[in-house]
Chains A and B, each alone.
Chain A
Amino acid sequence: MLINNGFNEDKIQSPLRYIWSIFKSKSIAVVAMWLVILLIFAAIFAPHFVPHSPLAQNSDKMLLPPYWVDGGDIDHILGTDDLGRDTLSRVFHGLQFTFGGAILITFIVAIIGMVIGASAALTKGIKASILHHLLDALLAIPSLLLALILITIFGPSYYNCLIAISLSLLPQFIRASYLAIEQELGKQYIIALQLDGATNLRLFRYGILPNILEPTITVINRLFTMAIIEIATLGFLGFGAQLPQTELGSLIASSMELIYLSPWLVIFPGLAIFLVIVIVNVFAEGLRHAVIEGEE
C-alpha cells in the first residue's frame, strides 16, 4: 500500500508512517506480525525444511507420542501417525494447504470484492439495484451450504473447494465494502472532491480508500478467519482436499478413529488451525487499533 508518487507523498505516506509508529509501540501486535510473516514463509517453504516427507512411512515408529511424553522420539517432535508418518511434517504441509489456501482466497476475494463493491457504490441506478438484490439473495445462503452446492456440481477436490469458498465469501465481502464506501461517500470532503471534478477512480483511490482502512482491515480479517475455518471444515467433511493431500481438516478427519489411541493426532492439527487464527486476529486487531489511534 506504499505510494511512491511525488505529489502525494506528504498527504499519504506520513499517516501510514504514523500508523506504523503506533503499531510498533504495541509489542503483542508486533510479535503477532512476525509470527504471521513466519507462517507465510512456513506455508511457502514447508516442503524444503520439514524433517520428513509427509508421506514417508516408517513401520518401526508407528503412533509415537510427542517427544516430551514417555516413549517419544526426538526425531519426531510431534510424534507419528498410524503409518509412522511424521506429524510435524504433516502439520506443516497442512499449513500449506489450509493457511496458504486461506491467504490466497483472502487476496483474490478482497480484490474482486473491493472492485465490485466500489463500482456498485459509485454507480447508481439499475445496475446497482440488480447487484443489491442479487447480493441479498446470495447472502441468505449460508456459506457452507453454498460451498456444498458448488462442490456437488463440480466434484470434490482441493481447488474446487477453494473456488467454492471464494464464491461463498465474495457476497459478504462485497456487501461490507459496499456499505463502508457508501457511508464514506456521504461525507462532505468527498463531495468537495467531486465538485473539484475528480474522476471516480481518483475519488476512490485518494478520497475513499485511505478512510475506509479501519473497516477494511476488520472485514479482511473476518474474511480470512472464515476462509480458514471453511477450508478446514470442508476438508474435515471430505468435500475438500482428497486423501494424500494433508489439509489440516482432513488430517483431523483421518485421525478421528485413532482419537482414543493417540489423541495427539487430532489435537495438533486443530491446535495449528486455532493458533493461526489467533495470531492473525491479534495482528489485525493491533493494526486496527493503530489505524484508529492514527486517525484520532
Chain B
Amino acid sequence: MYLISLRTTRLILLLLSIVSLQGCYQNKQLTDNTLIYCTENNPTSFNPQISNDLASLDATTHQIFNRLVKLDSNTNRFIPDLAESWQQSDDKLHYRFTLRKNISFHHTDFFTPTRFFNADDVLFSFNRMLDIQHPYHTVNNQMESYSYSHPFSNLLSKINKIDEHTVEFVLSKPDVTLLANLAAHYAVIQSKQYADQSLQRGQPEKIDFQPIGTGPFKFKSYTSNGVIRYQKNELYWQDMTNIENLIYITNPSATKRYSKLLSGECDVISYPAASQLEAMSKNKEIILNSKSTSNIALWAFNTKQTILQDDKVRYALSQAIDKKTILQAVYFQSAIQTNTLLSKQSWALKPRIDENIYASQQAKEKLQTLNYDFSKTLSILVPENAAVFNPNFHKTAELIQSNLADIGVMAKIESLSGTALQARLFSGDYDTYLTGINVHINDPDSIFRPLLSCASSPENGNSSRWCSPHTESLLEQSLTESNFAQRIKSYYLLQDEIYKKRPYLPIAHVLRLDAISSSVLNVQVNPLTGINFQYAIKQDLN
C-alpha cells in the first residue's frame, strides 16, 4: 500500500512537471513580431477582383495589393497610391494617371520579378475584367455567379497606355464614381509578368491563389485547414511594416475565437459574437473596434406573389415586426436599428422624422380591412449559414414568426443553403426572404441598384422581385447626373418611392466589429475594403 502510493505520487509529480513546462513553452522572440488574426471564414480566392466576400477582402486588399488611388479615411478625399497624380479632361470623359516609378512586385519562392511596376500591369489588371477576349478573363471565373461584379464594364470604354508610366481611362459617359471605383477593392493592381509566366507554365489559375502584388506583406502559404501565412515585404515602397509574420487562421466558432483572444493565441479576432460584446467592452485587455457600415439586414417581400402585391399589406406586415427585440436578441450591440436602406453616414440619406412604426394591433386591423387572407401560411426563406449582416438568420426568423403570429398570420421558416437556396430564389417560389446586402463602395447606387433594378436578379440582390419603370428611371437619372445637388434630389425621390412601396423591411445596419488585443496598436479597419495591418505594431505589455 505504502509503495503504491509512493509510486502514484511520483507519477503525479511527473505529470505536474510536464504541466509546469507550460510557462516556458512560448517563444518570446517569435511571438513579438508575429501577428495572428483569427477570422470567421476562409477566403474564396486571393484576388479581390473575383471574390467580394469579406474574408477574401480582409486577406488581400490592404495586405497584398495596392490600388491606383485610395480614400483618405480622415478627410474623405481620394489620395494617390500607385498613381502619383491624375488629371481630368474638360469633357469629363478622360482621366490620365501618372504612375509611380521603381515599385517592385513581391519576390517570393514562386515568382521573382525582373522589372518594376509599369503601365502594362495596370492595363492587365483592368483588361482582365473588361475584355472578354482576354486570356485571363475566364480564368477562375466560373467560381461564383456573382464574380466580376464590378461596374467597370458600364463605366469604362477603353484604357490607353500613353507611355510606360502613364495610362488614360476613357469613360463611356460622364460618371462621378470613377475615383471611388478605382479605390475599391476590385481595382487592385496585379503583376502582368507573373500572369504571363503562369500562363506559359499552363497554370493560369495560380494567379488568384498564389497572389503577387505590391503591398506591405507577401503571400507565403495557405493550407487547407485555413491557415494563411504572410511575410513582411522587404522591398515595400512605403513605410515598412513592424510585423514580420502575419498569420490568418479560420475558426468559424466565435466562442473559440474569443477564448483564443483571451488566451493570447489570437491578437485580433473578427466578428466577435454579438453576445460577447458586453464582456469585451469591460475587459481592459481588449479593444473593441466597431465601424458602422452600410451593410444592411433586410426582410424582402416577394412583390410578385399575389398575396403580397398590395403595398398596404406590405406596410401592415412591416408594422407587425418588433425590430427592437430582434436587435436585442440577435444583434445585441452589433447593429443599429434602421428604417431606411441608406445608413446614417450616407450623403444621400433623406432626413425624415422616422418614427418607429411597430404597432401590432394596428397592423392586424389594417390587414382585416384589406381583406387579407389569414388562412394562408407565409413562407420565410432563410439562408442556413450566418452572414455578415445577420449573425443568426434562423433566430431572426423565429422572432418574426412569433411577431406574425401575434397578428394572426401563420408563417413557416424554410432554411436552405448554397445551390438549393439559389435555385429557390430563381424559381420565385417564396413569399418572404430574410436577407441583407454587403456594400462594397461608398456610393448609394451600390445599394439601390442590386436591390431595386429590374436587371438585378433575385440571387444578386433583388429578392423582392421589384421592377417599376419609375424606380428604374430614377436610378438612371441619379447615376448620369454630375450635378451633385441634382443627384441628391433624385435619390431623395427614390427613397420616397421605396418608403411608400415597401418592397423591403430594413431591419438593421450592422457594425463591422473586430476585437483587438490591447498589445496591438494601429490596426485599421475599413468597413468597405477590409482590415489593414500595414501600420500595426505589437508591443510588449510585460
Residues of A within 8 A of B (CB): 57, 59, 62, 82-84, 243, 256-262
**CB–CB B394/A59 < 8 A:** no
27 A-B residue pairings within 8 Å (CB atoms):
A57-B398, A57-B399, A59-B322, A59-B325, A59-B329, A62-B328, A82-B275, A83-B395, A83-B398, A83-B399, A84-B329, A243-B394, A243-B415, A256-B253, A256-B255, A257-B253, A257-B254, A257-B255, A257-B273, A257-B275, A258-B275, A260-B258, A260-B275, A260-B279, A261-B275, A261-B276, A262-B275
Interface size class of chain B, counting residues whose CB lies under 8 Å from the partner chain: 10 to 19
CB distance from A170 to the nearest CB of B (A): 32
**CB–CB B253/A82 < 8 A:** no
**CB–CB B255/A260 < 8 A:** yes
> Does residue B72 face the partner (Cβ distance < 8 Å to A)?
no
Q: Which residues of chain B are near A84, meaning CB under 8 Å?
A: 329
Q: Tell me which residues from 347 to 402 in chain B have a Cβ below 8 Å from any Cβ of chain A.
A: 394-395, 398-399, 402
Please provide the 8 A-B residue pairs with the shortest distance between their CB atoms, ordered closest to farther.
A59-B325, A261-B275, A257-B273, A258-B275, A57-B402, A260-B276, A260-B279, A259-B255
Q: Tell me which residues from 267 to 289 in chain B have a Cβ below 8 Å from any Cβ of chain A.
A: 273, 275-276, 278-279
Tell me whether A59 and B328 are in contact in the complex, defined as CB-CB below 8 angstroms, given that A243-B415, A257-B273, A261-B278 are known contacts: yes
Q: How far is the CA of A238 from the CA of B395 in the complex (A)?
A: 16
Closest to A62 in B: B329
Apart from A257-B273, A258-B275, A260-B276, what are 20 other A-B pairs with CB-CB below 8 Å?
A57-B398, A59-B322, A59-B399, A62-B328, A62-B329, A82-B275, A82-B329, A82-B395, A243-B415, A256-B253, A257-B255, A257-B275, A258-B273, A259-B255, A260-B255, A260-B275, A260-B279, A261-B276, A261-B279, A262-B275
CB distance from A119 to the nearest CB of B (A): 45
CB distance from B530 to the nearest CB of A (A): 24
CB distance from A76 to the nearest CB of B (A): 16
Q: Tell me which residues from 255 to 311 in chain B have a Cβ below 8 Å from any Cβ of chain A.
A: 255, 258, 273, 275-276, 278-279
Counting chain B CB atoms within 10 Å of each CB, the highest count among A57, A243, A260, A261 belongs to: A260
**CB–CB A83/B329 < 8 A:** yes
Q: Which residues of chain B are near A259, meaning CB under 8 Å?
A: 255
Q: Which residues of chain A are near B329, meaning CB under 8 Å?
A: 59, 62, 82-84
Closest to B401 in A: A57
Closest to A59 in B: B325
Q: How far is the CA of A256 from the CA of B399 in the complex (A)?
A: 19
Q: How far is the CA of A256 from the CA of B257 in the complex (A)?
A: 12
CB distance from B465 to the nearest CB of A (A): 27
CB distance from A209 to the nearest CB of B (A): 41
Q: How far is the CA of A59 from the CA of B255 in the complex (A)?
A: 24
Q: Which residues of chain A are near B258, meaning CB under 8 Å?
A: 260
CB distance from B47 to the nearest CB of A (A): 31
Q: Which residues of chain B are near A258, meaning CB under 8 Å?
A: 273, 275
CB distance from B462 to the nearest CB of A (A): 28
Q: Which residues of chain B are near A260, meaning CB under 8 Å?
A: 255, 258, 275-276, 279
Q: How far is the CA of A256 from the CA of B325 in the complex (A)?
A: 21
Closest to B253 in A: A256
CB distance from B414 to the nearest CB of A (A): 11
Closest to B279 in A: A260
Closest to A261 in B: B275
Counting chain A CB atoms within 10 Å of each CB, the highest count among B275, B395, B398, B415 belongs to: B275
CB distance from B276 to the nearest CB of A (A): 5
Q: Which residues of chain B are near A257, meaning CB under 8 Å?
A: 253-255, 273, 275
Q: How far is the CA of A205 from the CA of B278 in the complex (A)?
A: 65
Closest to B325 in A: A59
Q: How far is the CA of A82 from the CA of B329 in the complex (A)?
A: 6
Closest to A242 in B: B415
Q: Which residues of chain A are near B325, meaning CB under 8 Å?
A: 59
Closest to A258 in B: B275
Closest to B330 in A: A82
Q: How far is the CA of A260 from the CA of B276 in the complex (A)?
A: 6
CB distance from B337 to the nearest CB of A (A): 14
Q: How far is the CA of A62 from the CA of B326 in the complex (A)?
A: 12
CB distance from B256 to the nearest CB of A (A): 9
CB distance from B358 to the nearest CB of A (A): 12
Closest to B274 in A: A257
CB distance from A275 to the nearest CB of B (A): 24
CB distance from A97 to the nearest CB of B (A): 18
Q: Which residues of chain B are near A256, meaning CB under 8 Å?
A: 253, 255
Q: Which residues of chain A are near B398, meaning CB under 8 Å?
A: 57, 83
Q: Which residues of chain A are near B253, meaning CB under 8 Å?
A: 256-257
